[in-house]
Amino acid sequence: MELNLAVLIDGDNIPSAYVKEMMEEIAKYGNPTIKRIYGDWTNPRLGKWKNILLENAITPIQQYGYTQGKNATDSAMIIDAMDILYSGKVNGFCIVSSDSDFTRLATRLREAGMQVFGIGERKTPNPFIVACDKFIYIEILKNQSEDEDTSGTKTQSAVKSSVDKITAKEVRWISNTINDLADDDGWAFLGDVGSLLQKKQPNFDSRNYGFQKLTPLISSIPNFEVERREDSKGRKKLIYVKIKEKPKPKRRSRKS
């Protein structure tokens, strides 16, 4: 069943560029039936949003800043989110913000059985990230848009400057996840591995490391072995992964 999503955007906290790419990303996970953005639209700083909102059918919600230094936008988003929750019109939310103030909101929505997606910048505090089912860095979407040359492929310089390196820490928790799911021979279905990685670490995304899909990411790590198998009907390939066994050290021959 397709998710009906309520998309709530913190206009004070998210840059206006790449909103088109952001909406295309959200469409991968469900149907954005409610799309609202919150901010003080009397503030000239938010003027650049005008055409973008029209092009993407996003409804602006006016929220005056009643007190200097206090963010009234957060409160307006939270109140609307709870109203939408009890309306029963959606079964998922996408909260677009880099603000940790939405951590409790994300937690509460998930407690109510909602699927919660978060989108924000890399500066987003970890408590908000882990409160979501999935968290997507907006920089990934920027890179997809900016790093394509005229032939539609990423330039090598762009790739090198825009992705994270796979560290021993990531390799370790991928290995642990494979072990959690492996059969007696050490093989785990890659689809299950990806799902469990997502549950353990909501901001896990192969695009963070310069790969569009999980399979090429895993294949690029020498610690893992990938095998493609046909399903019982021979219609498609199923991908399995296991941890490579470390070669046993050779015994030194004793000198006579």
Q: Where are the domains of the chain?
A: 4-158, 168-243
Q: Can you give the pLDDT at residue 149?
A: 43
Rg for the chain, CA atoms, rounded: 22
Confirm whether pTM is higher than 0.85.
no
Percent of the chain with pLDDT over 90: 57
pLDDT digits (tens, 9 = 90+) for 5-40: 999 999 888 888 888 899 999 999 999 999 999 988
Same fold, 4-158 and 168-243: no
Q: What does pLDDT average to over the chain?
A: 85
What CA–CA distance (Å, rounded) separates 250 from 110? 53
pLDDT digits (tens, 9 = 90+) for 163-203: 578 889 889 989 999 999 999 999 999 999 999 999 999 99
Percent of the chain with pLDDT over 70: 84
Closest Cα to residue 60, out of 10, 121, 101, 117? 10
What does the block give as tokens for 215? 């399979």
Burial class (CB in 10 A: 0-12, 13-18, 19+), 204: buried
The CATH code of domain 168-243 reads: 3.30.420.610
Q: Can you give the pLDDT at residue 234?
A: 64
- Name the β-bridge partners of 42: none
Residue 156 has pLDDT above 50, yes or no: no
What CA–CA distance (Å, rounded) separates 43 from 4? 32
CATH architecture of 4-158: 3-Layer(aba) Sandwich (3.40)
What CA–CA distance (Å, rounded) separates 162 from 42? 35
